[in-house]
Amino acid sequence: MHAIGSVKAKSMAEVNLLARLPKGGKRNINARATAKTNEHIRISREYGELYFDGPREYGYGGYRYDGRWVPIAEDMIAHFDLAPGDRVLDVGCAKGFLVKDFMKACPGIEAFGLDISRYALMHCEPETVGRLHLGTATDLPFPDGAFKAAISLNTIHNFERNDAIIALKELQRVSHGRAFVQVDSYRTPEQKALFEEWVLTAKFHDYPDGWIKLFEEAGYTGDYYWTIIE
Ligand SMILES: C[S@@+](CC[C@H](N)C(=O)[O-])C[C@H]1O[C@@H](n2cnc3c(N)ncnc32)[C@H](O)[C@@H]1O
């Protein structure tokens, strides 16, 4: 199994658990900036068919399984020391790709997901049927400490700041702080400008320092990393 440098990292550490995710093709920022209207933003935030599988102006432009999350699942399994029988939760799981790949990477692991999109759950990977819950990250329908680890990728920034804090508190609650979030961010004014041209769904975003302040306010002690457009 691939071991990453940050295994056994202390609580609340910056760690790139998506390092082995293939880089997508260069995003056509200019095309979206020209095309983007309030109507595109409104529709993308419905997280329906257009967002996942419609034209690129509304979101993914086709959200299809290709196995790219298997190495990520392997790194998360190593990072959180997960074994068959352990429960892991993916908040904002969409069609369940990471949930499926957790089960591929570690047969016998109990992987679950939660998402607000009925469309995504209705088009989930067959292996994940019955494992994906319809709900919101701000009100997780699970007992305290129900999961050995909880993950949320590219989802928490879809809330306004106060609700992002609530969602992080929920992630913390169900995992007792054994968690990982990845959120939209930027390190330079140039990256911020690029991001603002591209963004559709995110309502709160900030430089890493701003996010870390928010994590502290939420009492979040899990790990984190940034999605940065370059
Ligand atoms: C950018 S996608 C990320 C999907 C997946 N985690 C990934 O990285 O490929 C954001 C996901 O968050 C979900 N989402 C948006 N608001 C949510 C909420 N309030 N609670 C749970 N999921 C939400 C959307 O339906 C969508 O599946």
pLDDT tops 90 at residue 129: yes
Whether the Cβ atoms of residue 93 and residue 101 lie closer than 8 Å to each other: no
Which of 56-60, 125-129, 184-188, 210-214 has the weakest average pLDDT? 56-60
CA distance 32 to 226: 22
The per-residue pLDDT of the chain, averaged, comes to: 92
- Looking from the CA of residue 117, the nearest atom of ligand 1 is 25
Nearest to residue 13, comparing CAs of 167, 217, 179, 163?
Answer: 179
pLDDT band at 9 (very low <50, low <70, confident <90, very high): very low
pLDDT tops 90 at residue 138: yes
- Looking from the CA of residue 90, the nearest atom of ligand 1 is 6
153 lines ligand 1 (CB under 6 A): yes
Q: Which helix (H) or strand (E) holds 194?
A: helix 189-198
pLDDT tops 70 at residue 172: yes
152 lines ligand 1 (CB under 6 A): no
Give the predicted TM-score (pTM) of the model.
0.94
pLDDT (tens digit per residue) in 55-113: 999 999 999 999 999 999 999 999 999 999 999 999 999 999 999 999 999 999 999 99
